[in-house]
A and B are shown apart, each in its own frame.
Chain A
Amino acid sequence: MNAAPETRSDTTRAPMIEARGIHKYFSGTHVLRGINARVAHGEVVALMGRSGSGKSTFLRCLNRIEEPSEGDVLIDGTIITDLRTDVNSVRADIGMVFQDYNLFPHMTALENVALGLIHVRKRPRSEAQDLAASALTQVGLADHLTKYPNQLSGGQQQRVAIARSLAMRPKAILFDEPTSALDPEMVHEVLDVMRTLASEGMTMVVVSHEIGFLRKVADQLIMFDDGVVIERGPTARVLDAPEHARTREFLGALK
């Protein structure tokens, strides 16, 4: 069931991200019930499921923005769910893009992107700004460096958020429903950037319901339901021939 035959990823190395038996309790409710997952270097993995199924919580456990109650997360073979781990340096190596962008409203696009480089990567300010500018250029925002978030459209803000992750030269980027807060006409500009990243070999874990996009980009699709994984496999296989009744139900509702 775990076989992913047609991926362009490198499966000979240790996985880039590995989750072993992740459990999460929120004041009594059992939100995640033993999730395992492997994301190979350069692989794009999609997480799908109804709201409340645990997919976003699982995603947040991968960089410990949410602490797993049980289980281990390994990044590049190293356990990060461990008291001795410097969680800040782990997070610096794994980008995260949120549904509602979460840019810092009191900073320009350039300052948003440069912040982590200056204060986490400890780069000199001028160098950080050069790197930030090139990251923003990469997502097509070279003309908007000095604008504040409220002067940018939703799609532009989300691309700044992607640049903010990108500038840190991350090993992987986690996307938490990156397009679901966007107006329809802005969705494609964000998806285009993500598609380019994937083609350049970035390891990505994406919570998204953009079927067309996932079909083209995601190597593996993991279906969540009620805190467990009910189905997983190559994206096209799961989308075209779902094995689990709940998967069929969910995909049917999306169309």
Chain B
Amino acid sequence: MTGTLTQPRPILLALMFFAGLGYLLATPVTTGVAIWMDVAATVGVFVLFLLLFVPLQIDRRAPDWLKNLSALALFVLLAAAFFRWANADWGRLGHLFFNFEVMSRPGVMMRMLSGLWIALQVFLFSLVLATLLGIFMAVVRSIVNDAFLNFFIDAYVDVFRAVPPIVLLLVTYSALPYSGIVLSPFATGVVVLALVEGAYLTEVFRAGIEAINRNQVLSARSIGLSAWQAMRLVVLPQSARIVLPDYSNRLIGLMKRTAECSVIAIAEILKVAQDLQSQFVNATPLIVGALLYMAVLFPMTRIVSRIERSRPRN
């Protein structure tokens, strides 16, 4: 008797899956007294499925693809149960959120893609500016190390980390014209995001510089290198490796934060999607927008976690 319950049985599991799926999708929801039998049957599907599913998952010899496939099967069953029991108007939901007729209308997909292009531009411009700003502030703070200057750098860092970027965007966008400075929405968005991100990156780079042993600087200075040369040739190349994981995480955050530029009418992904949504009274563009973000961010997150795994051990 021992082991009969703990032995993995993939074929039985597959049969159970199809039987359960067939029941959940094919039979209509009953009403009245019979509903209790219906509930019991649904619960039964999951209990039987899990009895076969768990041993397979904990078996060390089972191949990974089989484990992944059975986990996926569990999700499909859960989705089917939700679909069967949720009292929703599925047709209307599909019409509003997954309406590909709307997306195929002339110009719609082009506008979404141009939104993506604008978002990428905001991202790249503000990233370059913020990186230069962050390195500059961190290096000045380390080399000049003047109390007066440090106060201003710290104040900048503290202020811009303490205000939500979306608030800063709105304030700048609405207040700036009164000061006589007229910037396009795009320029405003880039400048604001760069200032906010620059504050965070100042801290990131400062930590990277401070992580390098002070003796490295002494040693560089002792052969006659100037403070700037020591920073550029000896400290920064070593800091770069330490800083890379934090830096690339900030990079992902910045790409997501470009969506906040929609509030100052930059025609990036979210803004375009919202415009299309009100134009067609249909939310499908929002879904497509989310997919566009994912298309950019998913590879980025994968690369970053690669980098994080190769973080140097110090």
Contacts and interface: CB of A to CB of B under 8 A. Distances in A.
Nearest to A165: B223
B222 A65 contact: yes
B237 interface: yes
* Chain A interface extent, by class: 20 to 34
A34 interface: no
Contacts of B216: 102, 104
Interface string B263-305: 0000000000000000000000000000000000000000000
Contact of A164 (B215, B223, B233): B223
A119 B223 CA distance: 10
A91 B230 CA distance: 13
Contact of A116 (B213, B215, B218, B224): B224
The majority secondary structure among interface residues of chain B is: helix
Contacts of A115: 223, 225, 233
A148 interface: no
B225 A119 contact: yes
Interface in A83-130: 88-93, 95-96, 98, 100, 102-106, 115-116, 119-120
B16 to A, nearest CB: 56
A201 to B, nearest CB: 21
B14 interface: no
A65 B215 contact: no
Given A104-B234, A106-B237, A115-B233, A91 B218 contact: no
Category for how many chain B residues contact A: 10 to 19
Nearest to B215: A102
Nearest to B219: A102
Interface in B136-155: none
Interface in A31-53: none
Query: Among the interface residues B233, B237, B238, which one has the most CB atoms of the partner chain A within 10 A?
Result: B233
A203 interface: no
A104 B219 contact: yes
Given A105-B238, A115-B233, A119-B229, A92 B224 contact: yes
A58 to B, nearest CB: 15
Interface in B27-74: none
A65 B221 contact: yes
B226 interface: yes
B222 A89 contact: no
Contacts of B224: 88-93, 116, 120, 168
A65 B218 CA distance: 7
Nearest to A64: B221
Contacts of B234: 104
Interface of A: 63, 65, 88-93, 95-96, 98, 100, 102-106, 115-116, 119-120, 164-165, 168
Instruction: Report, nearest first, the 4 A-B pairs whose CB atoms are least far apart.
Output: A92-B224, A102-B219, A116-B223, A120-B224
Given A95-B223, A115-B233, 15 more contacts: A63-B222, A65-B218, A65-B221, A65-B222, A88-B225, A88-B226, A89-B224, A95-B222, A102-B213, A104-B219, A104-B234, A115-B223, A116-B224, A120-B224, A120-B229
